[in-house]
């Protein structure tokens, strides 16, 4: 049993596995949970609750059926047989819709992590088809082997195009992929020399695609440099013909043997789920899990989610959600089945996170980067829009709708309405002072019907508390 930063949390009578700890797990490993889901997590017990998130099925047929039934923008992307190019706007809607409705929320959070880690920007050349295929690559390998994911990304047409390896040929080696492979994807800054960049670029000459629109990798032996190379002190024996492709694979495996690589990837995982400034001892411990498990992402996040450090009560509501996480968690918690009708991609873009358009190959900044005036204004605007959604008991797919009765079933006055919505949205009560202030404002609404419920939604969805996990 590991000790130190990854010492497992062991429930006791004095320190039990309870609703608060289950809610913390649901906020960090997923996109929140309903009251029923939360009760089930508590009933399952600690180890089984962690496994509920981590050991997800590789396919999600229930979501696939829902996406096809929904039709429109969602159905267009879900239908692999549909001819033509999907619109990138529709791919964004489809992915957010998937986060809200999937039975494997951790898979989508990990897919988002890899979208940030291996950042590519959609543009006129790098079209939606390629970005969608890359997204599916991230999802297939989401919790699998980082080694296999890295090899997949190296052959991914979107990445080959974005970092110019499509035009990397022996006569004119292109260094873009080589540099980012080491600096941003595996080792970090100042862990290599310019000479290493040149040598890695030479190893990947000939890695390309059929044409600009192709979603298939090809290796062109005639474009490959077959001479020997030296990468970070290791001689890569030159190969000619079809065997030349093996040089790139050898480089990828060599990078993962470097002392710096496991802590680099472990830090990204810790920043995504635990703390934007993780403790170095925790990072080193997670790096040890990566190495011991042959780069298993699943076993690494399992060790994190089982740890006493992760379940420290002081960690609750200290983690600032990304805008996409916030949108998906809000819609999932409140039961917004037709979240795409709210045009959530416009809100996340206003908050600074436009899916498939990260600011650079370095991805997005995390943590405090989301605490700014523009994000706060966009959050309030979305809260206003959501509060105006039509009331409906059914699951409509047209105009935005909410079951307002279900949100506050049995609640009467402002305080009980606020408590009911906070329990769903935050999975925790507000502070007494904050609850009293919001309840007073809600009680001040004189209109009948669902006006007080809508007022509470505006206040709580737009509040800074909803952006924390």
User: Which uninterrupted H or E stretch holds 390?
Assistant: strand 390-391
Tell me the three state secondary structure of residue 307: strand
Q: What is the structure's pLDDT at 418?
A: 95
- DSSP assignment letter at 71: -
Tell me the three state secondary structure of residue 314: helix
Nearest residue to 187 via CA among 103, 136, 261? 261
Beta-sheet pairing, 390-391 with 401-402: parallel
Q: What is the structure's pLDDT at 424?
A: 93
pTM (two decimals): 0.96
> 260 burial class (0-12, 13-18, 19+ CB within 10 angstroms)?
middle
Question: Which neighbouring-strand residues pair with 106?
Answer: none
Question: Which neighbouring-strand residues pair with 394?
Answer: none
Nearest residue to 373 via CA among 354, 392, 390, 350? 350
CA dist., res. 103 & res. 231, Å (int): 43
Q: Do residues 409 and 415 make contact, with C-beta atoms less than 8 angstroms apart?
A: no
Phi, psi of 235 (to 5 degrees): -80, 125
In whole angstroms, how far apart are CA 157 and each of 210, 263, 462? 9, 28, 39
Beta-sheet pairing, 229-231 with 234-236: antiparallel
Q: Do residues 396 and 337 make contact, with C-beta atoms less than 8 angstroms apart?
A: yes
Contacts of 385 (CB under 8 A, 6+ apart): 342, 400
Tell me the three state secondary structure of residue 231: strand
Please write down the long-range contacts of 43-48, taking CB distance under 8 Å and 24 or more positions apart.
Answer: 45/11, 45/17, 46/9, 46/11, 46/17, 46/21, 46/306, 47/306
Which pLDDT tens digits describe the chain residue by residue (469 residues)? 566 899 999 999 999 999 999 999 999 999 999 889 999 999 999 999 999 999 999 889 999 999 988 888 898 898 765 656 789 999 999 999 999 999 999 999 999 999 999 999 999 889 999 999 999 999 999 999 999 999 999 999 999 999 999 999 999 999 999 999 999 999 999 999 999 999 999 999 999 998 877 789 999 999 999 999 999 999 999 999 999 999 999 999 999 999 999 999 999 999 999 999 999 999 999 999 999 999 999 999 999 999 999 999 999 999 999 999 999 999 999 999 899 999 999 999 999 999 999 999 999 998 888 888 999 999 999 999 999 999 998 877 777 899 999 999 888 889 999 999 999 999 999 999 999 999 999 999 987 789 999 999 999 999 999 999 9
Q: Helices 297-306 and 19-29: crossing angle, nearest 10°? A: 150
CA dist., res. 147 & res. 296, Å (int): 8
End-to-end CA distance of the chain: 28
Sign of torsion over alpha carbons 269, 272, 273, 279: positive
CA dist., res. 356 & res. 352, Å (int): 12
CA dist., res. 398 & res. 113, Å (int): 30
User: Residue ranges of the domains in the chain?
Assistant: 145-275+277-312, 323-467
CA dist., res. 384 & res. 263, Å (int): 42
CA dist., res. 233 & res. 252, Å (int): 14
Q: DSSP string of 264-275? A: HHHHHHHHHHT-
Contacts of 437 (CB under 8 A, 6+ apart): none
Sign of torsion over alpha carbons 429, 433, 437, 442: positive
């Amino acid at each position: 049993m590991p000790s130190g930063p990854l010492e497992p949390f062991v429930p006791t009578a004095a320190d039990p596995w309870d609703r608060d700890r289950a809610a913390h797990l649901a906020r960090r490993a997923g996109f929140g949970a309903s009251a029923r889901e939360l009760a089930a997590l508590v009933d399952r017990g600690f180890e089984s609750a962690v496994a509920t998130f981590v050991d997800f099925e590789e396919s999600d047929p229930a979501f696939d059926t829902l996406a096809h039934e929904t039709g429109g923008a969602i159905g267009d992307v879900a239908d692999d047989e549909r001819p033509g190019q999907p619109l990138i706007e529709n791919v964004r809607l489809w992915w957010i819709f998937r986060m809200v409705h999937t039975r494997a929320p951790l898979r989508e959070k990990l897919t988002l992590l890899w979208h940030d880690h291996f950042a590519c920007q959609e543009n006129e050349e790098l079209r939606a088809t390629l970005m969608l295929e890359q997204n599916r690559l991230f999802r297939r390998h989401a919790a699998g082997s980082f080694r296999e994911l890295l090899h997949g990304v190296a052959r991914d047409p979107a990445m080959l195009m974005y970092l110019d390896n499509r035009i990397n040929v022996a006569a004119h080696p292109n260094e873009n992929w080589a540099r980012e492979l080491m600096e941003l994807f595996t080792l970090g800054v100042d862990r290599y020399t310019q000479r290493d960049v040149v040598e890695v670029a030479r190893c990947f000459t000939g890695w390309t695609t059929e044409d600009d629109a192709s979603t298939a990798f090809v290796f062109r032996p005639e474009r490959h440099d077959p001479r020997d190379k030296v990468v970070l002190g290791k001689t890569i024996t030159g190969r000619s013909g079809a065997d030349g492709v093996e040089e790139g694979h050898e480089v990828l495996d060599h990078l993962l043997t470097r002392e710096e690589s496991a802590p680099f990837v472990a830090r990204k995982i810790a920043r995504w789920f635990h703390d934007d400034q993780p403790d170095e001892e925790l990072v080193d411990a997670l790096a040890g899990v990566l190495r011991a498990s042959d780069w298993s992402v699943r076993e690494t996040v399992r060790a994190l989610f089982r740890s006493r450090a992760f379940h420290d009560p002081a960690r609750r509501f200290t983690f600032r959600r990304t805008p996409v996480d916030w949108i998906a968690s809000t819609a999932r918690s409140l039961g917004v089945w037709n979240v795409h009708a709210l045009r959530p991609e416009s809100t996340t873009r206003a908050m600074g996170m436009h899916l498939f358009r990260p600011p650079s190959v370095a991805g997005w900044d995390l943590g405090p980067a989301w605490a700014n005036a523009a994000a706060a204004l966009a959050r309030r605007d979305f809260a206003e829009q959501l509060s105006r959604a039509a009331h409906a008991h059914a699951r409509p797919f047209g105009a935005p709708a909410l079951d307002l009765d279900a949100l506050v079933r049995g609640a009467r006055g402002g305080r009980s309405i606020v408590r009911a919505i906070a329990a769903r949205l935050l999975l925790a009560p507000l502070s007494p002072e904050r609850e009293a202030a919001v309840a007073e404002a809600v009680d001040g609404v004189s209109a009948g019907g669902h006006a007080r419920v809508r007022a509470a939604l505006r206040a709580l969805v737009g509040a800074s508390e909803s952006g924390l996990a």
